[in-house]
Amino acid sequence: MTPYAPAWLRRWRRPLVPVLSVVGFAAFAALALLPRFEASVVEHCLAILAGVTSWTALYFLLNGEPLPQHPVLARVSVDPANAVRFDVRCSEADAMTGQQEFWLRSVRELRLGSVAMPPVVAAFYTAAGWKLFPDHTLTIFLGFVTALSLAMPVVLFYLGRRGAAEQARRFPDRHILVCANGISVGMGEVTEAFGWSSFVRAWEMDRTLALVLHPYVAILLPRAQVPPAARAIIMQEAARPRGRDPR
């Protein structure tokens, strides 16, 4: 689950993000430049408070706007006679490229705070722990958490590419039906599809058309293999604004 800032705070995102970033880096600098904690208790407490407040707020603010609420994988009936039918062949290279494009755009637009901020927050807590308890096991543990939070997004990125390539190797050919009700992606004849209300975004990227179900999950189609008629329906229906999250 991706956390978001409350609506009243999101309205101030544009001026707040640069201000909070400056405050957060200033707090880092203060921890590095201040003398021992015992010699400057008040200054250390102010720096830690400023850093915790600014980096935590950025964690929520950088995730953008909440995605609209919608039925999860809403199923609808399709009439193959009234649908645009086409096949796509997805190579391992196509699959990895599509997953990479989707992952990077998803991070940038839907969950930047959840990916970029944990290492920063962990590093700040490590710095604070080092100043407060320089020889304590807690500082070592926080350093380990920082390294783990840096490595995890990279590992997940490459695991996602590898999983997409494996899926393409096992099932390279996919049969697609696109109609006014929804889209079906399968291996054979179908009479059910995902309704358009299942999708929260439709993205046209360099080589991929992504129908986003969740910040981490999407139906990915090689853009060059999608007929113009199907593309027109997808972009009209899947990209249609849904009800906004009231948070």
Predicted confidence (pLDDT) per residue in 47-103, tens digit: 999 999 999 999 999 998 887 765 567 777 777 778 888 999 989 999 999 999 999
Which range (119-133, 140-154, 183-197) has the least confidence?
183-197
Dump pLDDT digits (tens) for 41-55: 999 999 999 999 999
Q: How far is CA 214 from CA 103, 106, 172, in A?
A: 11, 9, 23
226-243 pLDDT, tens digit each: 999 999 989 888 766 554
What confidence score (pLDDT) does residue 188 get? 58
86-91-96 Cα angle (round to 5) = 115
Domain boundaries along the sequence of the chain? 67-90+172-247
The predicted pLDDT at position 222 comes to: 92
CB-based contacts of 44, cutoff 8 Å, min separation 6: 30, 31, 34, 37, 131, 132
Q: Outline where DSSP puts E strands in 21-172.
A: 75-77, 84-89
Mean pLDDT of the chain, nearest integer: 87
Whole-model pTM: value is 0.84
pLDDT confidence of residue 244: 46
Tell me if 235 sits within 8 A of 126, measured CB to CB: no
Euclidean distance between CA atoms 35 and 45, whole angstroms: 13
- Do residues 90 and 175 make contact, with C-beta atoms less than 8 angstroms apart? no
Q: Give the containing element (helix H, strand E) for 112.
A: helix 112-132
∠142-144-149 over CA atoms, to 5°?
A: 95
Task: Count CB atoms within 10 A of the CB of residue 219.
Answer: 21
Mind listing the pLDDT tens digit for each residue in 108-146? Answer: 999 999 999 999 999 999 998 888 887 778 888 888 999
- Does pLDDT of 245 surpass 50? no
- Cβ atoms 89, 173 nearer than 8 A: yes
What would the CATH number be for the domain defined by 67-90+172-247? 2.30.29
Position 246 pLDDT exceeds 80: no
Rounded Cα distance between 95 and 100, Å, is 9
Q: How far, in whole angstroms, is CA 38 from its chain's centroid?
A: 42
